[in-house]
Amino acid sequence: MNRISIWTASKIFFCIFISLTTSLFSVAQQQQPGFNPYQYEIKKQAEGSKGAVVTAHPLASEVGIRILKSGGNAVDAAIAVQLALAVVYPGAGNIGGGGFMVGYLQDGKKIAVDYRESAPAAAHRDMYIDKDGNALTEKSQNGHLASGIPGTVAGLFFSHRYAKLPFRDLIAPAILLAEKGFVITKSEASSLNRHRDAFIRYNTVVPVFVKETSWKEGDTLIQKDLANTLKRIRDKGAAGFYEGETANLIVAEMKRGNGIITNADLKNYKVRERIPVEFTYNGYTILSMPLPSSGGIILQQTLTMISGKNIAEKGFLSADAVQLVTETERRAYADRAEYLGDIDKVKVPVKQLVSKSYLEKRMADYQPDKAGNSSEIKAGIPTPESEETTHLSVVDQWGNAISVTTTLNGGYGSGTVVSGAGFLMNNEMDDFSIKPGVPNMYGALGNENNAIAAGKRMLSSMTPTIVLKNNQPYLVVGTPGGTTIPTSVLQTIMNVIDFNLSVSDAVNKPKFHHQWMPDEIFVEADFPDDTVSQLKKMGYKISKRGYIGRTEVIKITKSVSNKLLLEAVGDKRGDDDARAY
Ligand code: DON
């Protein structure tokens, strides 16, 4: 061999060596999520200047922050986090449910992606009413008949148009977490134990969530069937869920348990891109989710009714402030029950409901110091124009802000796991008004506009929200909590904007809730007694209840050196976790 050919041969050898080691390295990387799913900590607060992620689970937050660090944007991280949550937080994270994404993108584009479940073609108005006219809430809330057509996977692929990285990179961590397992937290262990009977009752094949002995903190949860489903989604795209083997497994599961979702239902599922609700409050611009969520409209109605009434001067959690907020909520939730529903299927007088003049009239009979009465305050337009969910907030270095709330509805949804596919189905059909006057599992009443119809989306309360200051993202906020969602988001926004609370206090201080019916104010256990007794004197019925929401917030400001300052806070009320860098 002459010198040239020795040089060429060594170059070739070097290239082969490099490419072999690189591919071996990336295979090795693909086999490990890059962090330890068998040992991790929950972080409640984080600060950074480049990116921040807050989710309901530390492993999901870690997945999100790693995606951001590897060059992904906020949408990439939001997709990867949702997939990771479907594995590590099975009570609410999902591929068998639906959700909403609200985003403010770096180029100023405002997005609202609706991947809410819809009613199967065979669904009909009276499907949960027996021959004697009784409402069958057991069927709308549990088991096979409770599920709407899942929207999450379609939503992830739809939102991927705003992402940067290949989808396979975003789903890889979820696949590994499902395949190799992760250790569960104390609260996950007790939650799985609490649901043991339901998992047995609502499944035809005993799912992986049922163990002979009780679950305990530190046990490893491995989900092989789910890993295989995620691989089909990785390899075939949305068709890996809505068609072929996964779809067949869903339909077979439905048939075994008298459910009604068919292959055609799955194949026909469509994401809707919508225009976010947008309005101003005290100089800030609020972007939130429009119908089929009631969240954005309730937020706009309540904040508009509150504005101009000096809430800040009344004082944080003062009886006067709580009373004002309660009275606006009474009116907004009365309207919700009467008018709101799937805007693609029914007429909703949205413009009128959020107009300033209408809302001023609505508050005309508001009396400070005196409790209103829900049986007197009905929906406001005289002649109409004819606990499990999860939130995640993400901000990246380019100024994209993403707010996502996604749900199975109740904890672990319908309780039914698609056998062979390893994921839980939602019980979202209960968010319809199954019979006029019969409250859903969150006590929400509904009417004709939210009655069941084939292909219709059930009304939601999910309120993924972004607050802009000077046209730049300032707060990314949202929470689970059924009908308490809009009122928790409302309080969190006011806590920062009006009461000047730190992000941590805005999230963690006691919350309260009113929703027209039942006519009472619900407060958390640590709500100030003094305020409770003053409100009682005004004529309010007050009930203590468990935690309200699990709010995830990122606040975006600039530091003195004009660098981005991201403050991320995960709610104290759960395993919620904040990361930033
Ligand atoms: O869409 C809705 O409004 C409900 N399905 C949300 C359920 C929920 O937030 C449960 N979380 N605790």
Domain boundary among 400, 425, 449: 449
Statement to judge: residues 364 and 430 lie in one domain: no
Return the number of other C-beta atoms located less than 10 Å from residue 155's C-beta.
27
Look at residue 290 and tell me if it is in a domain.
Answer: yes
Statement to judge: residues 164 and 246 lie in one domain: yes
Length of the chain: 581
pTM to 2 decimal places: 0.93
Sheet holding 512-513, edge to edge: 512-513, 521-524, 542-545
How many whole angstroms separate alpha carbon 269 and alpha carbon 490?
A: 32
| Residue 229 among the catalytic residues | no
DSSP 69: H
Statement to judge: residues 220 and 334 lie in one domain: no
Statement to judge: residues 161 and 308 lie in one domain: no
Q: What pLDDT sits at residue 356?
A: 97
Statement to judge: residues 288 and 202 lie in one domain: no
Statement to judge: residues 497 and 440 lie in one domain: no
What is the bridge-based pairing of β-strands 389-395 and 401-407? antiparallel
Statement to judge: residues 226 and 279 lie in one domain: no
Is 505 in contact with 496 (CB distance < 8 Å)?
A: no
Q: Which residue's alpha carbon is nearest to atom 1 within ligand 1?
A: 460
Look at residue 37 and tell me if it is in a domain.
Answer: no
Domain boundary among 396, 422, 449: 449
CATH of residue 278's domain is: 3.60.20.40
What is the bridge-based pairing of β-strands 521-524 and 512-513? antiparallel
Print the domain residue range for 361. 274-388+461-580
Q: What pLDDT sits at residue 33?
A: 61
Q: Which residues of the chain have pLDDT under 70?
A: 1-34, 382-387
Is 440 in contact with 331 (CB distance < 8 Å)?
A: no
Q: What pLDDT sits at residue 32?
A: 53
**Separation of first and last alpha carbons in the chain:** 54
**DSSP states of 361-403:** HHTTT--TTS---TTT---S-SS-----EEEEEEE-TTS-EEE
Domain boundary among 421, 449, 477: 449
For ligand 1, the distance from its centroid to the CA atom of residue 480, given in whole angstroms, is 6
Look at residue 67 and tell me if it is in a domain.
Answer: no
Statement to judge: residues 220 and 302 lie in one domain: no
Number of separate domains in the chain: 2
Statement to judge: residues 278 and 268 lie in one domain: no
Q: Which of 389, 405, 463, 487 is catalytic?
A: 389
Look at residue 52 and tell me if it is in a domain.
Answer: no
For ligand 1, the distance from its centroid to the CA atom of residue 463, given in whole angstroms, is 10
Is 401 in contact with 394 (CB distance < 8 Å)?
A: yes
Is 87 in contact with 176 (CB distance < 8 Å)?
A: no
CA distances from 165 to 1, 22, 80, 138 (A): 45, 19, 10, 43
Q: Say if residue 518 is preceded by a cis peptide, omega within 30 of 0.
A: yes
Is 222 in contact with 84 (CB distance < 8 Å)?
A: no
Helices 58-69 + 167-180 axis angle, to 10: 150
SS (H, E, C) 441-483: CCCCCCCHHHCCCCCCECCECCCCEEEEECCEEEEEEECCCCC
Is 98 in contact with 152 (CB distance < 8 Å)?
A: yes
Look at residue 543 and tell me if it is in a domain.
Answer: yes
Statement to judge: residues 518 and 370 lie in one domain: yes
For ligand 1, the distance from its centroid to the CA atom of residue 535, given in whole angstroms, is 28
Q: What pLDDT sits at residue 561?
A: 87
Look at residue 68 and tell me if it is in a domain.
Answer: no
CA distances from 277 to 211, 264, 289, 374 (A): 45, 32, 6, 27
Q: Is 551 in the pocket of ligand 1 (CB under 6 A)?
A: no
Look at residue 342 and tell me if it is in a domain.
Answer: yes
Look at residue 443 and tell me if it is in a domain.
Answer: yes
- Closest atom, ligand 1, to C-alpha of 116: 1
**DSSP states of 201-260:** HT-SS--TT--SSPP-TT-EE--HHHHHHHHHHHHHTTHHHHSHHHHHHHHHHHHHTT--
For ligand 1, the distance from its centroid to the CA atom of residue 101, given in whole angstroms, is 15
Is 365 in contact with 290 (CB distance < 8 Å)?
A: no
Q: Is 460 in the pocket of ligand 1 (CB under 6 A)?
A: yes
Name the residue among 544, 479, 537 with its Cα closest to residue 513.
544
Probe residue for ligand 1, chosen from 115, 485, 515 as the CB with the greatest number of ligand atoms within 8 Å: 485
- Closest atom, ligand 1, to C-alpha of 480: 9
Which position has the token pair 């509150």?
Answer: 306
Distance, CA of 51 to chain centre: 20
Q: Say if residue 33 is preceded by a cis peptide, omega within 30 of 0.
A: no
User: Any idea what the Cα angle at residue 419 is, between residues 194 and 193, rounded to 5°?
Assistant: 10
Return the number of other C-beta atoms located less than 10 Å from residue 227's C-beta.
19
Statement to judge: residues 278 and 383 lie in one domain: yes
Given CA atoms 321, 443, 459, 93 in this order, what sign does their dihedral have?
Answer: positive
Statement to judge: residues 290 and 363 lie in one domain: yes
DSSP-assigned beta bridge partners for residue 297: none
Q: What pLDDT sits at residue 100?
A: 98
How many whole angstroms separate alpha carbon 337 and alpha carbon 515?
A: 10
